[in-house]
């Protein structure tokens, strides 16, 4: 009977005890022997390696000598330089400046005195003195009579009546009458110097529109 047949006929536990375990023990022994050999080889390498030298102690000759202090050199006194007198420069004679003739200033023309502006003369207010005084004119182009103009106001029956009415109201005060009637004082003065006949003549050509003034033309 062969070994294989014997193993097949053996129970499992017997196979383990008689075959497998002896083989494992042999393998373990072989591994242990290999490990021991490696350890011995490592120790041999350590023993063969050169040892580290200890640091060498410094000798007295190796010490750096202490620096010797150097004394500062004594200052050398400097003598003051001898001043050499310089001769004074000779004065240069100055010539008197030649006077330059100045041209006489040209006369400035004086503007002629302006002629005095003419003073406008106001036209004198005509005074009503007699029946021959011109109280109105005749315009041939218009074919009508034109009243006399006193300080910008026409000499009509209406304006004459207003001036006389204002004088009566203001008790013959020309200034107050002018303020009341808005007529110029020159116009009112001219009317007061007119004769009753002249007033009628003016009112006949240029009748007053206000009936209040009719009493001054009777």
User: What tens digit of pLDDT does each residue of 145-203 get?
Assistant: 999 999 999 999 999 999 999 999 999 999 999 999 999 999 999 999 999 999 999 99
Identify whether the C-beta of residue 147 lies closer than 8 Å to the C-beta of residue 199: no
Task: Give 33: exposed, middle or buried? Use CB within 10 Å, 0-12, 13-18, 19+.
Answer: exposed
Identify whether the C-beta of residue 152 lies closer than 8 Å to the C-beta of residue 190: no
Q: Note the pTM of the prediction, 2 decimals.
A: 0.40
Confidence tier at 124 by pLDDT (50, 70, 90): very low
Helix (H, G, I), strand (E, B) or coil at 160: helix
Q: How far apart are the first and last CA of the chain?
A: 201
Whether residue 212 is predicted with pLDDT greater than 60 in this model: the reply is: yes
Rounded to an integer, what distance in angstroms lies between the CA atom of residue 72 and that of residue 78?
Answer: 18
- Extents of the domains making up the chain: 3-48, 136-217
């Amino acid at each position: 009977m062969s070994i294989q047949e014997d193993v097949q006929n053996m129970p499992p536990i017997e196979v383990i005890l008689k075959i497998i375990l002896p083989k494992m023990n042999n393998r373990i022994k072989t591994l242990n022997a290999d490990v021991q050999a490696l350890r011995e080889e490592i120790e041999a390498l350590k023993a063969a390696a050169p040892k580290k030298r200890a640091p060498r102690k410094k000798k007295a000759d190796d010490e750096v000598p202490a620096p010797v202090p150097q004394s500062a050199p004594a200052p050398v006194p400097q003598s003051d330089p001898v001043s050499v007198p310089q001769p004074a420069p000779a004065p240069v004679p100055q010539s008197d400046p030649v006077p330059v003739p100045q041209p006489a200033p040209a006369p400035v023309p004086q503007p002629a005195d302006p002629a005095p502006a003419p003073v406008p003369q106001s036209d004198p207010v005509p005074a009503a003195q007699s029946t021959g005084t011109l109280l109105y004119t005749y315009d041939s182009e218009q074919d009508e009579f034109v009243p006399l103009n006193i300080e910008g106001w026409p000499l009509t029956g209406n304006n004459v009546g207003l001036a006389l009415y204002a004088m009566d109201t203001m008790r013959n005060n020309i200034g107050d009458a002018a303020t009341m009637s808005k007529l110029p004082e020159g116009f009112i003065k001219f009317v007061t110097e007119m004769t009753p006949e002249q007033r009628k003549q003016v009112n006949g050509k240029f009748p007053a529109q206000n009936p209040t003034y009719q009493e001054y033309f009777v």
